[in-house]
Amino acid sequence: MDYNDVSELIDSTLVNRESGLEIEPQAHQDMAHAILDYAHQSQVTGQSVLQGFATSSTVPETPDNAKICYVSSCNATTTYTNFLDATSNPIEVTCGSNEVKFVILLWNTVYWEVMAISVPVVTT
């Protein structure tokens, strides 16, 4: 279960029920277990471990139970062929002519996310 699933379960159990309808013990227990499971999952996988430097052809690890990350740099358009996003497309980072980017590729246990920090290049 992800955050949205747990949130919807809490709402349906506590808030979005008919007026005057009591909370059923089984529904309360299911909600409590979902919250505990989510908290445990967050505790176990809450940290990203740096795996190394990525290039456009790096084949990354993709563990089911751990968040990991790779770092990279980009000074042109770079397509990270084996880092697939939420829509199963390779991640692409594009830089302008007067910048480089520090790239962090984050594995969230389902797909890759990207954070790119732009650094201006000053030429004289």
Domain that holds residue 31: 3-45
What is the C-alpha radius of gyration for the chain, rounded to an integer number of angstroms?
21
Same-domain check for residues 68 and 34 = no
Query: Which two tokens mark 119?
Result: 């650094």
44 phi and psi, to 5 degrees? -70, -40
For residues 38 and 19, the answer to whether their CB atoms sit within 8 Å is no
Same-domain check for residues 31 and 86 = no
Same-domain check for residues 53 and 33 = no
CA–CA gap between residue 107 and residue 95 (Å, rounded) = 22
Average pLDDT, stretch 46-71?
Answer: 86
CA–CA gap between residue 71 and residue 106 (Å, rounded) = 9
Give per-residue pLDDT as tens, 31-49: 777 776 766 565 555 566 7
CA–CA gap between residue 4 and residue 22 (Å, rounded) = 24
The total domain count for the chain is 2
Give per-residue pLDDT as tens, 12-35: 777 777 777 777 777 767 777 777
